[in-house]
Chains A and B, each alone.
Chain A
Amino acid sequence: MKGLIAKGLLAAGALALTTGLAVADPYEKYRGTTIVVSWPALSHFKKAEELVAEFTEETGIEVEIDALQYLKLRDRQLLEMSKDEGEYDVVSWVVMWKGEYVSKGLLTPLSQFYTSGSLVDPSYDLNDVADAYLQNGGVVGGTKGYMPGKSGAMYGVPFGAETSILAYRKDIFEEQGLEVPKTYDELRDVMAKLHEAGIPALTSRGKTGHQVTAAWLLHLAPLGGKIFDENWNPVINSPEAVEAAQVLREVAQTGPKGIPTFGFGEAAAAFLQGEAAMHLDTLKIAAMSRDPKLSKIDGKVGYALHPVGSRCGSETGGFAAGIPANAPNKEAAFLFLQYITSKKGDQRMVELGGDPVRISTLQNNADKFDEYSVVAEQLPCADPDWRPLIPEWNELNIDVLGQALTEVITTDKPIQPIMDAANEKARAIMEREGYYVWQ
Chain B
Amino acid sequence: MRQKVIALIEEILNVPRGTVTESTMVAELEEWDSLAHVMIIGELEQRLGVNIPLEEAIELSGVQELFEKAGI
Partners in one complex: no
Residues of B within 8 A of A (CB): none
